[in-house]
Amino acid sequence: MSQRVSIVTTVYDRTACLDRCLRSTKHLTFRDFEHIVVSDHPPQHLVPHMRQMCESVGATYFDLPERTGNWGIGPAQAGLRAATGEFVCFLSDDNAFLPGHFEPLLAAFDADPGLGFVYSSCRYAGRRELRNPVPVGAGIDLGQPLFRRELLGDTIPFCEFAWDWCVIHDLMVNKGVRWQHVDEMSFIFRLDAYPDLVEALA
């Protein structure tokens, strides 16, 4: 039976970041999720360690057969194709979810089945907060939204540095998808910029 949420994490060679990321999902209070980790063909001596870290928390691990080096698009797309949940989100290796991240987002979907994506607010790199009530370029990170899986298909049709904003903008403007902002500061961009949170999630 599929979990309700699929979390897709992309990584290259930052095993310490991946460890902190996995610890953040281990602390989630919502447990009906699958966690899919895809590495972009790092130095191969790192692969057994990444696989062991993932297995220790029940995450599924894949290593791409060759490096794509395309801003995380290749591994994100592979994870998306493997995702079986009703909803999907993207959590890069150096980012984190706080324990109560998913409940408010799913409550918004349950209250309004017509929504295509719901996004949280964000503590951003120890410097500022992203809590824009309307998604804007450079004002929302791909880790904030929870998407209906059916809206994303199996491919990411963009190949540029700002592909994450392209995905969100395409849903809003070209596909007319409805969305909602939940002003809960539950997504962390660059977890290592918040030592107090790193310690709390240890």
Predicted local distance difference test score (pLDDT) of residue 158: 92
| pLDDT over threshold 80, residue 67 | yes
Confidence (pTM): 0.97
Q: What is the DSSP string of 133-160?
A: SS--TTS--TTSEEEEHHHHTT-----S
Mean pLDDT (whole number) for 11-21? 97
- Percent of the chain past pLDDT 70, that is, above it, reads 100
Residue 7: name the closest of 147, 162, 153 by CA: 147
Mean pLDDT (whole number) for 79-99? 97
Predicted local distance difference test score (pLDDT) of residue 84: 96
| pLDDT over threshold 70, residue 1 | no
| pLDDT over threshold 90, residue 149 | yes
Give exposure, 167-181, as e/b (b: 16+ Cβ within 10 Å). Answer: bbbebbeeeebebbb
| pLDDT over threshold 90, residue 201 | no
pLDDT in tens, 179-190: 999 999 999 999
Fold (CATH) for 5-200: Spore Coat Polysaccharide Biosynthesis Protein SpsA; Chain A (3.90.550)
